[in-house]
A and B are shown apart, each in its own frame.
Chain A
């Protein structure tokens, strides 16, 4: 028995599995409760109260919602392309979870670094996976085989590819400053100096707006704009398959928020009380995870708040903003940063 435990703990897969379970265990409730938060915040902004009946303060509402999704009829229309129709919801759910794998969500807990996969090309991995997110939506639009989902899919592909570029360009100056693509190194850099949001505010703004576009959130929710496209790419979906799209959207928001926390807000660090150093005690490690989740929550609140604040952009405005404003700005930012670095370092 002891030998078994020893071989288990020696194996690198052992701790990785535990971390995966931890992250999933953190993320799934976060997804369902961000849906809940969305409804409550929306209600408050509209002078309403929002769901407050299920459980104390309506806190069990996500469970009721989940039950509803499970019990609804899972209807597959006759005219859809069945295989892709089934595949699409899964494809929208997977990328956000994969992205989280490389993000350091805490310093250390015992002997372990709180990151599932400490990749040296962390940010490249993230971007490659984030861009996979569009496939689920495009496939849903194509598989549904009817006009509104088709429009939604087309819009999604154009929008996400456009903003992918602005997003990628906006983070280049960050890595010029840090000199490493590893997300852990980005956090170490911020822990020893100022957060990158203060050093690269323009990059932050571009990344933030691009994040809204990437996750199809208002003011850029053109792929599913209810007023024009019924509900866009998931018009034909019902029950659990719809729920996967719905939760996938929130999972994407969480993963992008986690990325922004890591890149711009110093990840799990806080610049006082010695919280910049990796934790030595278990309590400190848990505190660092809590700090990370707290910062994540702030971004989620921003996502939710903006949805109920701003009206939807017109499609040409969206494209104009992406290609003619943000892309040149991001490029200029790279050049300015490069020149400044060259001056300061020579």
Chain B
């Protein structure tokens, strides 16, 4: 990634340098300005080096280790392992957990945004929901798992009360909280606030004039929503949906703290591969799983950025 910049850097000097600071730097390639150019590029070095060592190298290592055996020989064995029934099933359940929580999160989050329309932008209600959403969207991992064990675990007040008052045992078919079904409930908790944060700006971008124009032309509230608001909001809504999907798909900590048995989703499968070194009797399987995840993430985030570009047309 950093290597690819090189041609850009060169052309950049050629065009951007003359006349940049006419007073302090006289025109013409004097020795001083050459040194200045060099110094400026040196200024980029620390960040470039840092990103190279701690982002580019680990990413490349994570993706390519799957192609090598423990002795360093090339192999496609791990890649083939991605298509074994067990791993495919893991990807499928990761997909469904992410897709279902993304859809629920997007719909509920959009409803909350809709409810906030017409409230004062800087008002107490709006800013409280803004702040609470940004906290809860970050509230993943161990603490979230604890919260749900306290809230709907088998010994929680709610569970005991439902059992004693209504005779309803939510865990009659086994304690699903610690299984993928539990992840659906728990992930939704950080998906909805994330939707509120990402979708609210788009909804705020709806202009009152559009509604007025619609009313002037004899439109109803229904035509306003179907003909104007939905088409304008659709790219942003589906973009946010993809972001939510990516968010759930890449989430590890919550599942690690909650799921008690096995590795039903891909991130937990990677943990198993890292910890035990061998999954399915294959070495370096973690690398192949990481590659599989990155492929999914790149596709999803690419879709997100395409939709995001369409969204920003209306937010100017």
Q: Do A and B bind each other?
A: no
- Which positions in A face B, CB cutoff 8 Å? none
- Which positions in B face A, CB cutoff 8 Å? none
